[in-house]
Structure 1
Amino acid sequence: MIANLYFGSLEVIKEEYQERVSPYSGEVVSKVALCNEDDAKKALKIAKEASKEAKKTTISQRCSWLLDVAQKLRESKEEMAKTVTDEVGKPITFARVEVDRCIETITLAAETMRTMHGETINTDAMSSGKKTISYFVREPAGVVVAITPFNFPLNLIAHKLAPALVAGNAVVLKPTPEAPLTAYKFAKLFIESKYAIKDALSVVYGDAEVGSALVTSDIPRVVSFTGSVTVGSIIAKSAGIKKVALELGGNAATYIEESADLDLAAARCAIGAFINSGQVCISLQRIYVNAKIYDEFASKMAQESKKLIVGSPYDDETFMGPLINDEACQRAMRWVESAINEGAVPMFAPKVEGRVFYPCVMTDVRDDMAIVCEEVFAPIVSLIKVDSFDEAISKINNSPYGLQFSIFTNDLNLTKRAISELDAGGVVVNDMPTLRFDIQPYGGVKLSGIGREGPRFAIEEMSEIKSVVIC
């Protein structure tokens, strides 16, 4: 129940701890060590020394390390899933899915590293060149700072830790304040593994003070952050000359074209809008529907939304549990009330019980409403009527965000145009934009961030290329 600090492989008992309560029951579910700027600096110094040894280790050892953690996670799956549910209120069924995905992410990172390589260069290919032995190799970047969010408190740590460690780096992890015990238990699996590299992973907790100390230090060579645009902007401005990978906000949208399978579209859109209570950066927020099928689709969307089971996250049948805290609930209701005051119409009355915010489908939404323009991060989706594909593309792209978009259509030409014209890091055809496979490159354009996650792509982000010429 206690999330302690790790200075490298040394677990540290702090004088002060803070309680974390369940967003569903309000009961205390964990206690976390209170850390400060000095803790962050000490962890970085330990990581700097550890990175020298990590670089020397074999790929075989690092891969065995990850695979050992994956096996230990399989053995503790139910305990880890319950910890996720306790701390962030994720329905237990989806918490188990997150553990499974985490295992896959770790395994993928190990398998990917076995085949990562450089290549030879033909230096006599140009008239100014000459014949040499030339090639490049990938080397560890050094120290990686990983800062993670609450909505996927296990798998999004894996997306940073696994590639960073298997590439031969040392890592300082600062997990979300909302799920410290999840991070602690996960990190413990790495640190106590028989294949572990001594002091290669440290864990510190905290908010702005700790985060700033980690980001602004000259020690890390990579900062990998997943979270809000506001914090991401601060990191980008204050990090200095180092690699920065930012996976930030989104305002995911889809277009329902008149040839689409409306039953499929409505069922998938309901899941995409409301899974994890809308607390997903690629949560479906805007649905642009061709005017010819708008009413039919809206009716189907309402029916699918009402089917979703809302309630206790400990019930296996529950699809939606609570939002993360009271502030999130209040903010969500403000979004809805603001839209209603501006003329939008909910398909059924907005409903909140404690921190459980029920699915909300808004119609008669205009493009100038805040509920469409900004990221709501709540179980709220807006239906917007459009007359054509061209109008839909224009409206979807008219956003400062560009993480993932999608289209539902059986028209091949529109499919090809959507792939080409949608301004986003990812495009999905005939499914929700909330679809993500951990093996893929994942990230956005514009305010949605820079860099890509996914084991192969993260390893590239967390390594450096060294060019070699032998004359």
Structure 2
Amino acid sequence: MTTTAAAPQAFWLAGRPATGTDGFDVTSPWDGGLVGRVSVPTAAQVEEAVAAAAGARDAFSATPAHVRAAALDHVSRRLAERAEEIARLITAENGKPLKWSRGEVGRAVSVFRLAAEEARRFNGGEAQRLDTDPGGVGRLALTRRFSRGAVLGIAPFNFPLNLVAHKVAPALAVGAPIILKPAPATPLSALLLGELLAETEGLPAGAWSVLPVPNEAMPALVQDPRLPVISFTGSDTVGYQIADSVPRKHVTLELGGNAAAVVLADWSSEADLDWAASRIATFSNYQGGQSCISVQRVIADASVYDALAEKIVAKVRDQVVGDPSDDATDVGPLISTAAAERVESWVDEAVGGGAKLLAGGTRDGANYAPTVLADLPADATLAGAEAFGPVLSLHRVNGTEEAFAAVNDSRFGLQTGVFTRDLQVAFRAHRELEVGGVIIGDAPSYRADQMPYGGVKDSGTGREGVRYAMDDYTYERVMVLTGLDL
């Protein structure tokens, strides 16, 4: 999808369209064609948006639940109605294959629907009698959750609609104003979402803004005391810089990973290994590997390693690489040529250090071929870093204990997939693996949008998933009623 040069697209300032004095081009990672031109807010317009968000705090928090729920329902319906158009926009600006863009739109439909449902039942309150001790006779505590204040949502490029939805929808559900900063490479999906939000009724001015400001302008927003909550998705380096710079703010971080798929000895039938290999091959390459829970490491018991490795390599080679707008394409380009060059340099380093290249290992512009490595040196960059590209390494282990130790031997801890049929091992994995999520019988890349999603160690803090983000955007406040005849 390319367009001819046109006036810059407006951004959304306190719920209304606005343009600044400057703009930037959004280009396709696939062919470099112009996808759109976006207007950049001026410093004065950013100030206006922040002031509006801070000023809307009390009014928005007091908005009836049915008003917020109706707005969220409207966005969910409109996303569904315009699904194909939006999917093609995601593919155009992001480069992900159309099949995955369609899935992303479907997930965003669900996120807004879930948020509407949660808005209707959230904050019902919890009553607690206090006469368990003599001093509490006649007293009753009522605990409810209230907005912490305006949210600064900072979104990444890899899911330019759904990860925006995971910041905007929970904020609107709890009545917290939000300023959304989309990734500079992929702002168009967020701006289209703003178009749908602008169709809603009943939300106060200042309840939401979508500001495509450059990354250089982010520190000022992060530091602004009128934005007491920050929800960031991106690299661990930037995320912890943000958290360290504002220690008194409530900061949630959804950061990187180097997700492992563990295949244990009991997962040994031909059908089992075919399933594992298929899921691993698919989810090491979906989104071009540009997902925090993309499979990066396969940790396989020695008893199944050889057969599994052969199947994985065959299925990775079967991945269809090409034009992301083609329905048949499985793997499209990375977000930029620079991103592909980084992946290329890490693979070349690993091979130079002794790793065996079993598939892939070639680059063409922003496209990097689906790649499989074996015998990865422990000191290779790929051994510890997040590849964020279509690269998979295979590791042979002896037994469950060694497999789980290998998973935990990482500074990241987002999600792990464990292929086993042993229920006791499943519970052991849940207990021992230092990650935010354990997926049994499938790749680590599974995510349902209502479940808690997030990690430990360098994978971040806090949780997404609609209800869990709503908790992060609010705090408990207790009221004690006195003189009651209970």
Give the TM-score normalised by the residue count of structure 1: 0.97
* Partner residue in 2 for 1:270: 281
Distance 2:63 2:45 in 1: 27
- Within 5 Å, give how 1:273-422 maps onto structure 2: 273-422=284-433
Say whether 1:179 aligns with 2:194.
Answer: no
Query: Which one of 252, 256, 259 corresponds to residue 259 of structure 2?
Result: 252
Distance 2:108 2:217 in 1: 26
* Distance change >3 Å, CA 304–CA 126, structure 1 → 2: farther
* Distance change >3 Å, CA 230–CA 36, structure 1 → 2: farther
Moved more, 441-450 or 386-395: 386-395
Gap runs ≥5 in structure 2: 1-5
The one-letter amino acid of 1:418's match is A
| 8 Å CA contact retained: 2:100, 2:286 | no
SS in 2 for 1:378: coil
Moved more, 385-394 or 200-209: 200-209
| 8 Å CA contact retained: 1:267, 1:301 | yes
| 8 Å CA contact retained: 1:164, 1:170 | yes
Deviation at 1:119?
Answer: 0.3
Deviation at 1:39?
Answer: 3.7
Distance 1:50 1:355 in 2: 43
The one-letter amino acid of 1:93's match is K
| 8 Å CA contact retained: 2:357, 2:374 | yes
Query: Which one of 18, 29, 36 corresponds to residue 30 of structure 1?
Result: 36
Gap runs ≥5 in structure 1: none
* Partner residue in 1 for 2:3: none
* Partner residue in 2 for 1:5: 11
The one-letter amino acid of 2:327's match is D
| 8 Å CA contact retained: 1:37, 1:209 | no
Distance 2:378 2:416 in 1: 17
| 8 Å CA contact retained: 2:49, 2:206 | no
The one-letter amino acid of 1:398's match is D
- Within 5 Å, give how 1:110-125 maps onto structure 2: 110-116=116-122, 117-125=124-132
Distance 2:155 2:46 in 1: 15
- Within 5 Å, give how 1:49-64 maps onto structure 2: 49-64=55-70
Distance 1:173 1:3 in 2: 16
* Partner residue in 1 for 2:244: 237
* Partner residue in 1 for 2:86: 80
Query: Which one of 434, 443, 446 corresponds to residue 432 of structure 1?
Result: 443
Query: Which one of 115, 140, 153 corresponds to residue 146 of structure 1?
Result: 153
| 8 Å CA contact retained: 1:250, 1:281 | yes
SS in 1 for 2:285: helix
Distance 2:396 2:255 in 1: 28
Moved more, 427-436 or 43-52: 43-52
Deviation at 1:190?
Answer: 0.6
Distance 1:404 1:341 in 2: 29
* Partner residue in 1 for 2:177: 170
SS in 2 for 1:78: helix
Deviation at 1:411?
Answer: 2.5
Say whether 1:102 aligns with 2:102.
Answer: no
What's the CA shift string for 1:345-365, capped at 9, x where partnerless?
A: 111242223322111010112
The one-letter amino acid of 2:56's match is A
| 8 Å CA contact retained: 1:216, 1:240 | no
SS in 2 for 1:346: strand
Distance 1:208 1:321 in 2: 25
Deviation at 1:37?
Answer: 4.6
Deviation at 1:423?
Answer: 0.4
Alignment length, in residue pairs? Answer: 471
The one-letter amino acid of 2:158's match is N
The one-letter amino acid of 1:386's match is V
Distance 1:301 1:114 in 2: 46
Identity %: 38
Distance 2:224 2:47 in 1: 8
SS in 1 for 2:463: coil
| 8 Å CA contact retained: 1:142, 1:169 | yes
What's the CA shift string for 1:199-256, capped at 9, x where partnerless?
A: 2111212233321111111101211110111110111011242211110111101211
Distance 1:192 1:412 in 2: 49
Deviation at 1:287?
Answer: 0.7
The one-letter amino acid of 2:405's match is S
| 8 Å CA contact retained: 1:249, 1:401 | yes
* Distance change >3 Å, CA 35–CA 234, structure 1 → 2: farther
Deviation at 1:7?
Answer: 1.9
Deviation at 1:386?
Answer: 0.9
| 8 Å CA contact retained: 2:21, 2:41 | no
Distance 1:397 1:285 in 2: 14
SS in 2 for 1:145: strand
| 8 Å CA contact retained: 1:41, 1:214 | no
What's the CA shift string for 1:431-465, capped at 9, x where partnerless?
A: 00011110100000111111101111111111122
Distance 1:210 1:40 in 2: 10
Moved more, 48-57 or 347-356: 347-356
Deviation at 1:321?
Answer: 0.6
* Partner residue in 2 for 1:155: 162
Say whether 1:461 aligns with 2:461.
Answer: no
Moved more, 63-72 or 42-51: 42-51
Deviation at 1:128?
Answer: 4.7
Distance 1:431 1:258 in 2: 15
* Partner residue in 1 for 2:198: 191
| 8 Å CA contact retained: 1:40, 1:213 | no
